[in-house]
Amino acid sequence: MKLQRMNRRALSLGALAVSGALALTACGSDDTGSSSGSSSSATAAAGSIKCDDAKGQLLADGSSAQKNAIDAWVKNFTQACSGVQVNYKGSGSGAGVTAFTQGQVAFAGSDSALKPEDVTASKAVCSGGQGIDLPMVAGPIAVAYNVSGVDNLVLDAATIAKIFDGKITNWNDAAIAKLNPDAQLPDLKIQPYHRSDESGTTDNFTKYLIAATPDNWKYEGGKAWQAKGGQAAAGSSGVAQGVKQTNGAIGYMELSYAKDGLGTVAVDTGASAPVKASSDGATKAVAAAQVVGTGSDLSLKLDYNTKAEGAYPLTLVTYEIACDKGNKAATLPATKAFLRYIASEDGQGILSGIDYAPIPDAIITKVRTTIEGLS
């Protein structure tokens, strides 16, 4: 009897140890790097992923804006679907679209919808079909700055445009001082940073300036930076690093990159109060977007000139680009499984915790239906 009691006690302690290890594993799976509240959703996501027949290596490239979100999604997905390797480069939207239309990747990420010439090019690799835009993740483009002694900064569209166009060159300029009467603005040269690579972030940033202050931003816009002067850096991470290392610097990047001591500008949109970059603000902006794509394409038109309360106007949507028909047989199961997961309630659910914004229900429901029809 004594031996039986000892055995029962050993089994009980063993169960406790296993339980504790599982709890630690669940905490460790919080790929978002956010509070423990996000950990449970990440763990739940891994448990509900449908792998189907997915296997092999899935190559993808494109938007660096969504790279932090993709990394979190890939971690969950590959934990559940161990037979799949997902390799997403994050070389920029322009590089991703090119790689897709040349048949080098199974899908691409782009912060700008496909242009007509891109759709035409995609027909060569999508046998009997074409490339389509699937809005998957939204995010505020933060205007991040590094100015010693300035913890809060308000700018409007006109002032932002003049700074990035080299028309305002010092932090104590009268236009900045008028918007920030309580700030101790230094006599310091402004060092604006922009993207050196073709970027959907640049496209959306300049679309905002064109819409909100056309008199002060005379450029056409697009993925390539057109204004003269300033410092150039590759990728959102490169811009963020440049701003961090330079007192007096300012740059545009996704909110998830605006960390480690960088301040973020509150944008005076004409609403009752300036709006800071946030996931909630981005979601409010995207909720008013219109689907302008045709057929299976779900490209959106955003209102960059919004004055709605709490809506952050500098918001982008990243699309995953895939063939509606004619996907390669070897990668179709993995492509559908991965896209299905990131569009799912669980996949979208981790975004707010890592400084992105989920796609509103009315739009993401259409995305899920479209993914199931990919062939």
In the 3-class helix/strand/coil scheme, how is 289-345 assigned residue by residue?
A: CEECCCCCCCCEECCCCCCCCCCCCCEEEEEEEEECCCCCCCCHHHHHHHHHHHHCH
- The per-residue pLDDT for 259 is 87
Which tokens sit at 179?
Answer: 């918007």
- The per-residue pLDDT for 369 is 98
Work out whether the CA dihedral 138, 318, 66, 258 comes out positive or negative: negative
Question: For residues 308 and 145, is the Cβ–Cβ distance under 8 A?
Answer: no
Which tokens sit at 349?
Answer: 């659910």
Find the distance separating the first CA and the last CA of the chain, reported in whole Å: 64
CA distance 242 to 250: 9
Which tokens sit at 333?
Answer: 């199961």
Q: Where are the alpha helices (DSSP H) in the chain?
A: 2-28, 36-47, 67-80, 93-101, 116-122, 157-164, 174-179, 200-212, 235-244, 279-287, 332-343, 345-349, 361-372
- The per-residue pLDDT for 336 is 97
The type of residue at 169 is T
Which tokens sit at 360?
Answer: 């509103």
Spans in the chain with pLDDT lower than 50: 1-45
CA 173 to chain centre: 32
Nearest Cα to Cα of residue 323 among 62, 127, 60? 127
Q: What is the pTM of this model?
A: 0.78
- The per-residue pLDDT for 32 is 33
- The per-residue pLDDT for 53 is 86
81-92 tens-digit pLDDT: 999 999 999 999
- The per-residue pLDDT for 47 is 60
Pairing of strands 191-195, 249-254: parallel
CA distance 154 to 135: 30
Work out whether the CA dihedral 115, 120, 123, 124 comes out positive or negative: negative
CA distance 12 to 3: 14
Burial of residue 338 (CB within 10 Å: 0-12, 13-18, 19+) is buried
